[in-house]
Structure 1
Amino acid sequence: MNNTKQNRLLWLSNALLKDMNRHQRTVETMTALAQVCSDEALRVANNGRKSSLHSMFIHAGVFGMFWLYRWHTKECILDRAAEIE
């Protein structure tokens, strides 16, 4: 393998690692947010308020965004890995 290709692979792998670290921080934040929404939904449901359904929708929405983001992140990482090859 020539030096130019090695440099390109090194640059791409470093960029991929930076992306993964940034995505990991975002996933951790979204996980914490989903946990807060889950706790709030359970608290409201246990109190028997009429707004418990609203809280459950909030929880489902945040949880859905979290998994959508994880799927998108996985696809981006796989695309970047394909570029390296």
Structure 2
Amino acid sequence: QQINTQYWIASFLNGNEAWSNFRRSGFPALAANPYVGDIPAGTFIRRLTYPVSEISANTTNVNEAIARQGPDRMDTRVWWDKP
């Protein structure tokens, strides 16, 4: 827990790395999202949505990925993040 918390602090300027390590380890113990919006209250972002540029340039494959992996939402778990 202490190592992952320190890693999160050290990764301050590298947000994607800090977020990825948090998703992997669950540390540091952060407060869950209290607001209802794109993701349900009390949860964390699980993945990023496809950008509009990817949907426009690669519609067929994006639709296939969505069909296989689930909705294009920030609270949809990726294939390796199953409970």
TM, length-normalised to structure 1: 0.26
Larger relative contact order, structure 1 or 2 (CA cutoff 8 Å, min sep 6)? 1
Structure with bigger helix share is 1
Larger radius of gyration: 1
TM, length-normalised to structure 2: 0.27
